[in-house]
Amino acid sequence: MNIQAYVVLSAILFTIGCVGVLTRRNAIVVFMCVELMLNASNLALVAFAKQHGNLDGQIAAFFVMVVAAAEVVVGLAIIMTIFRTRRSASVDDASLLKY
């Protein structure tokens, strides 16, 4: 059994997430695309764990999931705070530092 197809799928999903972060304007959708990239890297880690026959890749994927959970909690709280003060969840509206 060859894991090459899994790694290619992981690369495609990562690219889609990357493009999503760059093109979407809604902060929550941008966040979802970040999650998609994390999931894609997890798939590569689990696939390589099978390739090498040890479980370190699965442990790494597990830690990525923990960090993703913490990141989502703080990130969504920041989005909520910005929405409460500026009444908008668009990433273009939070540009006060520019002027």
Partner 1 sequence: MVAFWILAPIMVIAALGILFVRKAVHAAMLLAVVMISLAVLYLVLEAPFLFAVQIIVYTGAILMLFLFVLMLVGVDASDSVVETIRGQRALAIAGGVALGAVLVVGLGQISLGTAVGLDDANAEGNIQALADILFSRYVFAFETTSALLITAAVGAMVLAHRERLTPKARQAELAAQRIRDYSESGKHPGPLPTPGVYARHNAVDTPALLPDGTAAPSSVSRVLTARGTIRSAPATADAIEEIEKQIGWSPHAGGAPSAPASTTEEAPATGGEHE
How many chain residues touch partner 1 (CB under 8 A)?
Answer: 72
- Residues 52 and 48: their CA atoms lie apart, in Å, by 6
Q: Which residue's entry shows tokens 């689990």?
A: 46
Among 41, 76, 86, 94, binds partner 1 (CB under 8 A): 76
Among 56, 86, 96, 99, binds partner 1 (CB under 8 A): 56
Among 1, 96, 97, 99, binds partner 1 (CB under 8 A): 1
- Residues 18 and 32: their CA atoms lie apart, in Å, by 11
Residue 86 binds to partner 1 (criterion: CB under 8 A): no
Q: Nearest approach, Cβ of 27 to partner 1 (angstroms)?
A: 9
Q: Are the beta carbons of 25 and 41 closer than 8 angstroms?
A: no
